[in-house]
Structure 1
Amino acid sequence: MNRSLRSPLFRVTLLLSLFAIVNACQESTAEQDTGRELRTVRLETIGQERADGVRRFVGVVDALSTVDLAFQVGGRITRMPVQQGTIVPRGELIAELDSSDYELAVREARVALDLSTLDFERNRKMLDSGAIPRATFDRAQSDQELRQLALNAAQRNLDYTRIEAPFDALVTRRIVDSFTQVQAGTAVVRVQDVTELRVHISVPESLMAMLQTPERFAVSAEISAYPGRQFPLSYREHATEADPVTQTYQVSFGLPRQDGINILPGMTATVSVQSGDAFLAPRIDVPAAALDTADDGSFRVWVFEPGEGTVSSRSVTVGALGSNRVVINSGLTPGEQVVTAGAHMLYEGMAVTPFKNAR
């Protein structure tokens, strides 16, 4: 029995069996690792710091106002000489209704007024001679005044058969076509006031202090359609209610019309705000949800390593705290990617996949 255990054949068989068992375990572990679902994380790339005292924002060009023009009376449209994309000077015709019925109403009201005026004059003379009582004269006078009001209303309705440009108007859309029957109040043309354009940007709460002294900063915009060219802007107004999602405030700047340059509402712009003040100093900030607390109580964030597909912790020092973002004084550099949600569920070297790549 002992001889068989010490025989070469037995030892070879035993080694092969052990190797097969170990190999099977390794394959099973590999299969488990391969089948393990990676945690999906949201990432944010740290923006570039600037050392030139300039902060840049993405903005959008808008009209001073957008108005849907409508007739105040009903009828059939007979003329609409404007084309989409053209600017109609203030006071020029935009659309016109068939005015024949309204012209007839004016003539009828004028005839009625003339008759009432004659009756009023007769009654006035008769009152002077004592032939009629004062009450009869008063009725004639009231009738004349009512006829005058009716004529005024008929004339006003006739005027309402024309829509004229209330300002230098950019025609953005012809809502209905010529010869369409429309009711009073039905929008027929959408126009925009482009006597001055507006450029809107979203500003974080940490920079809202600059609006108290707009003369301390210079603002310009590079329009997407005209790359490399800067257009000066002037501060106009800002919202005092923050966006409930981004916690930013809309700030509006004025952009004068440029002769020979076709800047249209809806175009994107890169707005540069330049000042030497401290509130424009370059800095890095991250969402507050990206912060995690280490065992020693210090702050850290989780940095994504794209080459390895893992995350690693990074100690940071924090500065000002906003409602949803935190200024990072040290510990991060531009271009790095940090996890912005679920930081407390991560561990060192954990394999993750960015949200945008998730299926």
Structure 2
Amino acid sequence: MTTETPYDTPPSRRRPTLLKALIFIVLMAAITAGLLAAASLLRSKEGPKIATVEPQPLAVSVSPVEYLTELDIEELFTGIAEARRTSRLGFQTGGRIERIDVRVGDTVKAGQTIARLDTRGLGAQLASARAVVEEARAAHQLALDTAERQRQLQAQGHVSAQRVEEFVAQATTAMARVEAARAQADTLRVQIDLASITAPYDGVIVSRFADEGAIAGPGQAILELVEAGDLEARIGVSARIVPELVPGETYTLEAETGPVEAPLRSVTGVVDASQRTVAAVFDVPASSGVPAGSLVRLKMQRKLQEKGFWVPLKALSSANRGMWTVYAVVGEGDDWRAQPRLVEMVYPAGERAFVRGPVEAGDRIIVDGLQRVTPGARVLPREVQRAETANGG
């Protein structure tokens, strides 16, 4: 069996295949030429013939700039009204807690016993020390009596003076033992006294850290006491207003319970390194009803000598290096364009800010919808839009 190769194909059979290939090539060339011709018709010397239509101007709200040369501002400083004294109370020596007579919220008086340790062991030691004192006293008395008898015998010539001096020395030694025994007994009495906690001043129990039966370590906090009565408010103020504060004068503080008249006790005059403020201490009377730990605020009025103008916060967009951007509406022929201007914020107050920058008095600033505005964009101020509508434009 023989295999037929393409070269063995007769010419009469190869002609239809070549004809189809030629027809395909011709068709592809025609299609390519048509596409090129269509593309050339869509192009001109300036580029692609694409219709461009400038977007309609954005309607924006504007406000005219009014310059001020000075500004009355209100500064607010915050502090905390605290008790003058707060103490964490504990036992000087350790031991088992026998009783705690107060709970959180109880009012106590100065000198009142409010907790006590189990002192049975100390009591037994004190009884032993008292017995030692009595024994030493008896020995001392015996030594005194013996020394006296020796003096009588010396007077009769029966003993020497040295013998008498020896018994006098024994009496002195016995007296020293009496004093040592008394000191030991006094030490135990002091330990028994220190086994109880007494209130150092009138106040309120605000915390309790242990209960009866617990073993308390030396110095461990058992109760927290806050002094009752007048409070003091420490408010950090800026150094520039310190000269305006006069100790002894009464100022109005804003507390959660309302305004409070509080005399200024002192101003430290030292700038706190972390807060960069100076502490002013006010006396808050107990009659004000301000709870300890409440926030209090001091308002101070002052004049700021600075040329600038007010803008709403929503008229500002952030820029670099702490600057802000406002958009001024500038006329160009029959159009209005939004032009950015860099300004510096001098003083923020609520929903507006006092700023300064290269803006002229009377210029109109876009005050709303900045998210839709781009530099150089066509805009239509709302006042102009209303005027055109009224004129039938």
Task: Tell me which residue corresponds to 2:121.
Answer: 101
Compute the displacement of 1:151 (Å). 1.1
In 2, Cα distance between the equivalents of 1:91 and 1:118? 38
Q: Which amino acid aligns with 2:43?
A: L
Residue 174, structure 1, aligned to residue 198, structure 2: no
Q: Deviations over 1:283-321 (max 9, x none)?
A: 389xxxxxxxxxxxxxx9834559xxx9843479xxxxx
Q: Deviations over 1:237-283 (max 9, x none)?
A: 33343122332111211223238x3x33221112356xxxxxx6333
In 2, Cα distance between the equivalents of 1:311 and 1:136? 107
Task: Tell me which residue corresponds to 1:65.
Answer: 85
**Does the CA-based 8 Å contact 1:222-1:271 persist in structure 2?**
yes
Task: Tell me which residue corresponds to 1:158.
Answer: 192
Task: Tell me which residue corresponds to 2:247.
Answer: 214
Q: Deviations over 1:91-116 (max 9, x none)?
A: 22221111211221221212211221
In 2, Cα distance between the equivalents of 1:100 and 1:110? 15
Compute the displacement of 1:18 (Å). 4.1
In 2, Cα distance between the equivalents of 1:256 and 1:133? 70
Q: 2:97 aligns with which of 48, 65, 77?
A: 77
Residue 269, structure 1, aligned to residue 289, structure 2: no
Q: Which amino acid aligns with 2:266?
A: E
Residue 119, structure 1, aligned to residue 122, structure 2: no
- Cα distance change of structure 1 residues 315 and 264 upon mapping to structure 2, 3 Å threshold: closer
In 1, Cα distance between the equivalents of 2:299 and 2:127? 61
Task: Tell me which residue corresponds to 2:309.
Answer: none
- Cα distance change of structure 1 residues 138 and 183 upon mapping to structure 2, 3 Å threshold: same
Task: Tell me which residue corresponds to 1:235.
Answer: 264
Question: Which structure 2 residues correspond to residues 335-350 of structure 1 after superposition, within 5 A?
Answer: 335-336=352-353
In 2, Cα distance between the equivalents of 1:301 and 1:62? 37
In 2, Cα distance between the equivalents of 1:183 and 1:10? 96
In 2, Cα distance between the equivalents of 1:284 and 1:175? 55
Q: Which amino acid aligns with 2:303?
A: P
Compute the displacement of 1:173 (Å). 1.5
Q: Which amino acid aligns with 1:104?
A: A
Compute the displacement of 1:337 (Å). 7.1
SS of residue in 1 equivalent to 2:303: coil
> Quick check: 200-209 or 231-240, which moved more?
231-240
Compute the displacement of 1:77 (Å). 0.7
Q: Return 5+ residue gaps in structure 1 as ranges.
A: 24-48, 274-279, 286-299, 317-327, 340-348, 353-359
- Report the aligned-residue RMSD: 3.9
TM-score by length of 2: 0.58
Residue 144, structure 1, aligned to residue 178, structure 2: yes
Task: Tell me which residue corresponds to 1:223.
Answer: 255
Aligned residues: 266
Higher radius of gyration, 1 or 2: 2
In 2, Cα distance between the equivalents of 1:311 and 1:104? 90
Q: Percent identity?
A: 19
> Quick check: 80-89 or 142-151, which moved more?
80-89
In 2, Cα distance between the equivalents of 1:305 and 1:85? 57
SS of residue in 2 equivalent to 1:258: helix
Q: Return 5+ residue gaps in structure 2 as ranges.
A: 1-32, 53-70, 152-163, 307-320, 328-338, 357-365, 372-393
In 1, Cα distance between the equivalents of 2:291 and 2:218? 30
**Does the CA-based 8 Å contact 1:202-1:250 persist in structure 2?**
yes
- Cα distance change of structure 1 residues 10 and 64 upon mapping to structure 2, 3 Å threshold: closer
In 2, Cα distance between the equivalents of 1:155 and 1:87? 28
Q: 2:275 aligns with which of 246, 250, 255?
A: 246
- Cα distance change of structure 1 residues 56 and 13 upon mapping to structure 2, 3 Å threshold: closer
